[in-house]
């Protein structure tokens, strides 16, 4: 009955249009009244404890790093670098979009930020070159969800803190799946545009490629610094976020010199606004997570999935089907915060590697960013592409199908994640 009270109150207030953070608080209050433990002091204490976490400090610093990169001219240099390498191939702008998505993923960790940055630059270029606008926007959106999978990843930080799983291992575990999604998008794009009549750009000379590489090298070094530092034990994920923010500030101010001192206040305010939204959501979800535990909802869920616990494959298929369904109606962060405390006891009982499950879970939630009606990345791509939801769905479905197949492949063959993970984390 506690489960019904929580879910019905959450869905009910969300249906009324209440923001998800406040909806979580309302559903938490409803559950407290049902359990007869309502206490404002307990609510306040759990809200504070929800945000009072050292690993969570990585979130504002990675958000700040992303804002500094966008203001410091890093975005254009990454696109120019990708353009110099693959822009001359038939359908080259699509390959540029995919390559830039992978490179951006190693910088920001935010699907929304990457989609907005790439879409604003590349969609007009692709339309001008003769590409279908719907398909171009769909490709940009599909590439944008690589960002939360390849480190640094803000959703993986949230999952790691909520579940108690090593954030460093989650980061390392996301590298191969993220690259695999990029590869699948390349194959999908090649099949779609090989016979289309679109503008083919001239091949860049070796001198021009070298110049573009030299311009982008400072941006390309950051993912290597983060991954190398984490793997070598030089810094924690939180410290990596500070390094990323300082590095982006240094490059923007003194190397590219596109970031001005007078721009810093605007950048800091933008980062603070984004951080406040995320952290308030985290705090509200932590209250719900505590109440979910008190109400023994994880045990209820475990009993419901009990017949599948002995069969890991069927259990993972059932859980991922559930997450895909939830992802159509809820954004990534609240889904991670709500479902993690419910699902982790089941995963542990079934003997599934929690890092492997975390990678699958985040990937599944990222796919949810591309599904209507809530799909955040889908809405951002519609905005920058100046098209409607119905139009972008016509262009995105092949890429969405390809990414869902990657998820299925990872479920069927866990070694795709676990074997590279072992190498990346082997000190």
Token reading at 132:
């279908």
Residue with tokens 């794009």: 189
Token reading at 215:
């311009």
- CA angle, 71 then 121 then 136, to 5°: 145
DSSP per position, 245-288 = HHHHHHIIIIIS--S-GGGHHHHHHHHHHHHHHHHHHHHHHHHH
The whole-angstrom separation of Cα 77 and Cα 306 is 52
User: Tens of pLDDT along the chain (427 residues)?
Assistant: 666 777 788 778 777 777 777 887 888 888 788 878 777 787 888 777 767 777 778 888 888 887 888 787 777 788 888 888 888 888 888 899 999 889 888 777 778 778 887 888 888 888 888 888 999 999 999 998 998 899 888 889 889 988 889 988 999 899 999 999 999 999 999 998 877 777 777 888 888 899 988 888 888 888 888 878 887 778 888 888 888 889 889 988 888 888 888 889 998 998 888 888 778 877 877 777 777 777 766 666 667 777 778 888 999 998 998 888 877 767 788 888 888 888 888 898 889 999 999 999 999 999 988 887 667 788 788 888 888 878 888 889 999 999 999 999 999 999 999 988 887 766 4
The whole-angstrom separation of Cα 47 and Cα 281 is 10
Q: Are 367 and 280 within 8 A, CB to CB?
A: no
Domain layout of the chain by residue ranges: 57-425
- Cis amide bond preceding 247, omega within 30: no
The whole-angstrom separation of Cα 216 and Cα 223 is 12
Token reading at 220:
């390309």
425 burial type by CB count under 10 A (0-12 exposed, 13-18 middle, 19+ buried): middle
Q: What is the pTM of this model?
A: 0.83
């Amino acid at each position: 009955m506690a489960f019904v009270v929580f879910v019905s109150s959450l869905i009910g207030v969300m249906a009324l249009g209440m923001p998800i953070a406040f909806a979580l608080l309302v559903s938490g209050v409803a559950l407290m009244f049902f359990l007869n433990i309502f206490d404002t002091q307990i609510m306040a204490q759990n809200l504070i404890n929800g945000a009072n976490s050292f690993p969570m400090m990585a979130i504002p610093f990675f958000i700040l790093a992303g804002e500094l990169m966008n203001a410091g001219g890093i975005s254009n240099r990454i696109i120019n670098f990708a353009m110099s390498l693959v822009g001359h191939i038939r359908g080259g702008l699509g390959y540029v979009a995919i390559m830039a998505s992978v490179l951006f993923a190693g910088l920001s960790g935010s699907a929304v930020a990457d989609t907005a940055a790439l879409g604003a630059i590349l969609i007009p270029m692709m339309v001008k070159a003769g590409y279908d606008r719907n398909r171009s926007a769909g490709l940009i959106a599909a590439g944008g969800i690589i960002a939360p999978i390849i480190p640094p990843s803000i959703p993986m930080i949230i999952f790691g803190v909520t579940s108690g799983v090593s954030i460093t291992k989650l980061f390392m575990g996301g590298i191969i799946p993220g690259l695999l999604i990029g590869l699948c998008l390349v194959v999908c794009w090649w099949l779609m545009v090989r016979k289309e009549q679109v503008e083919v750009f001239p091949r860049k000379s070796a001198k021009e490629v070298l110049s573009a590489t030299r311009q982008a090298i400072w941006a390309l070094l950051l993912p290597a610094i983060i991954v190398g530092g984490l793997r070598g034990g030089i810094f924690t994920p939180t410290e990596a976020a500070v390094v990323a923010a300082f590095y982006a500030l240094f490059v923007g101010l003194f190397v590219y010199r596109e970031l001005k001192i007078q721009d810093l206040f605007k950048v800091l305010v933008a980062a603070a606004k984004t951080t406040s939204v995320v952290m308030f959501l985290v705090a509200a979800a932590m209250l719900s997570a505590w109440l979910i535990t008190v109400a023994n909802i994880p045990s209820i869920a475990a009993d419901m999935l009990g017949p599948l616990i002995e069969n890991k494959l069927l259990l993972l298929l059932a859980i991922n089907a559930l997450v895909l369904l939830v992802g159509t109606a809820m954004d990534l962060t609240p889904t991670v915060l709500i479902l993690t405390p419910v699902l982790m006891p089941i995963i542990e009982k079934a003997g599934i590697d929690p890092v492997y499950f975390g990678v699958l879970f985040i990937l599944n939630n990222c796919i949810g960013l591309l599904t209507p009606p809530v799909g955040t990345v889908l809405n951002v791509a519609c905005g920058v592409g100046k098209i409607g939801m119905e139009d972008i769905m016509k262009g995105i479905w092949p890429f969405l199908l390809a990414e869902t197949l990657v998820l299925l492949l990872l479920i069927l063959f866990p070694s795709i994640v676990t074997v590279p993970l072992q190498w990346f984390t082997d000190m």
